[in-house]
Structure 1
Amino acid sequence: MATPQAMENVVCPFCSLACDDLVVEPEGKRLRLLRPACPLAEREFARDVPEAVGPLIEGAPASLEEAVARAAAILARARLPLFAGLGTDVAGMRAVLTLAERTGGIVDHAGSRGLMANIRTMQDGGWVTTTLAEVRNRADLVLFVGTDTADVTPRFVERCLAPSETLFGPIRRELVYLGDGLEPARDLDARITALPCAADDLAQALLALRALLAGRRLGVQTIGALPVAALAELAQKLTAARYPVIVWAAGELPGESPDLLVGTLAALIKDLNVKGRCAGLPLAGPDDIIGVNQVCTWQTGVPLRSGFMAGVPDHDPLRWDAGTLVASGAVDALLWLSSLRDQPVPDTGMPTIVLLRPGNTLPRPVEVVIPVGTPGLDHSGSVYRTDSVVSLPVRALRDTGLPGAAEVLRRIGAGLAPSRAA
């Protein structure tokens, strides 16, 4: 029996770092991560593919042709369809937009809460951000706000901060963690400081930090349990550093309005650039949310949470929130796409079409279920990195016979009546 051949330089599509240094080998229809260590990649590459899997119509087995025809009929009858979830690659999102434009629908990603906080901040006042390469090669002080990155990008510290040799010579870093319940990095050649701060106090702590940087004296000794003296010391470090970087993951920020916190961070970074240098690094969530938003922006001129009811793109980050639309009953059909991880499918009574990777569970039998392949495992494609500057190719690593989401969506579009497709 032939020995399984290890595959090198594999791109991982399961978080927004899109690490391109993985080595995996096949084990039947599963894949085993040989190196490097990453709990997220290890789990997702090893995920089982059920032996017998196929489309369903209202819970009953159906052919792909039947399922596609039923999906097309649902979209043709809908007055306002919603295309959501959107865990897909670039090709999948291009196909989603084609359908949404043709049917007058709305598009929103499952993780857009954090994305919208970042976008609204950039739209309202601009910001100064950097790239992963700049962080790796230049950042001597990194302030983590509200995140330790372990959940959103498990290898961020290893890939960007652990290296002490850079393109410009050796570097000694300092890491500061500001937030609640954060786990600072370990076994790192860096000075590490933890500043515990309750979620409810985080906004006030950031405002206090801005005030201290401006030379103002505060009339309090603590912000919650956080000593103001610790914030004053942090202000001095930020001012003295050659290239400080502030890192956050908007999807992990507390409160109903994370855009307010992101706006404060953007203002803090601007303050530091008046006399020195500082940059931000917003870490994106999973499911290729950056790639999905990039496609939406370059094809329509506007980002996600946009509708095509009037024949032109209409971007509204509040009105076109998928959760609000489903809860209010404002939409009358849902197409949910989840090909990169098991996003929970909304439990709604409206006609629902689900394109998902096999093994995902549903809250109820829906009108149409079509299993699709995972980009970077079952078919090739491309995904975007969290800093938006790099699109990385992912390749097929196994043969499960599952179609890609883009192929299925194109077939659904071909089944629309000409009057609806016009």
Structure 2
Amino acid sequence: MHDPRLLLDPDTDAAAKLRRRGYVLDTDRLGKLVSRRSEVIGEGDQARAESKKAAAEVQAAARRGEDVTGLREQARELKNRISELESEQRAVEAELNEFLLSIPNLPLDELPDGATEEFAEQVRTWGTPTEFDFEPLDHVDLGERAGILDLGRATKLSGPRFAVFRGAGARLERALAQFFLDVHTQEHGYTEFSVPSLVTRQTMTGTGQLPKFEEDLFRTAVADRELFLIPTAEVPLVNLHAGEILNLDELPLRYTAHTPCFRSEAGSYGRDTRGLIRQHEFSKVELVQLVDADSSRAALDEIVVHAETILRKLNLAYRVIKLPAGDIGFSAQITFDLEVWMPSQKTYREISSASDTGTFQTRRAGIRGKGKDGKRGAVAALNASGLPIGRTLVAILEQHQRADGSVAIPEALTPYTGFAVINKDGSVS
């Protein structure tokens, strides 16, 4: 959540920055709310001082044996006034907080202008998009022909946008998760966590999913408690330290977790409904870093490389793009997307987003920092997919398919799968 004083500071130029991402900041409303809050707080402080003085006068007059009826009435009126001002202060602060929670993060100046991916800046590419001397199949045809993917039975169980993996497909899915976690914990220094898939409204608010994206979330109730299914492990991993003061000298903290993720995909209206690209439930290995705010931009470059490492080890062609200001997520101040080559679509498709949220999420979650010298400092949060299991599986099937209908398993993954090839009939070798 933003500091309203910074939003109103002309030097911050917040309104202009937010316009770059398509958000119009109502500075007039914000200024009035901030002013009224200050006025109410000031009036309350004055009323409490007068009430304290009135109470002392009542006691002094009573000791002198004087009639204190009038003084007690004045003291009662002051207490009523204090109660009214406190009530108004709560109302103003609630309205101000609700307003602030709806304002997205400020994009960094280095982002290109624009609101769609066509305005993105390509940073680099790796690998050569696969060219076949046969007509390649998409992942659905490959998986269903081999019997390792069953979308029909998934629909029978849960409706559209769910998947069932079978045999070598299920084993490949499990192997990918283990491989991702091993690379990130053993090579990149992340600590692995197992976290809940159901979290509170406050937890969702801390990372910016609420109130903005409530329609995209699955909500349930457990023993009359409202809980939400997580859309990404970023939510619980960042909020592990909600309300805490972290030792700045012990940063960065690098966390990872493999979790199911749940998204309603409200508003997608038929986009990518075939196959595994856009599912209501999928699994993902997430990367989160908590760093000194002054180090966040450098940490973003690092976390991007960590996600790229997986794609390179799997020999999957991809590119890295810097998203334009109007296309970054609500909580992000800068985002790099990793896009993997999809032969069936003859284009690159997003497989990971890596974002620096600056202090946006940590302020919302109440995460602060303090050094050994006792000086307070700001903590920043970053996140990246490292990687989603389903989309990585799609890329492997499509990029590594062969003319005889089989799929070659990347060499780095074979110790985890126990096989090097998924044959056309679903058997392995």
TM-score, with normalisation over the residues of structure 2? 0.23
Looking at CA atoms only, which structure, 1 or 2, has the larger radius of gyration? Answer: 2
- Considering Cα pairs closer than 8 Å and 6+ residues apart, tell me whether 1 or 2 has the greater RCO: 1
Specify which structure has the higher proportion of helix.
2
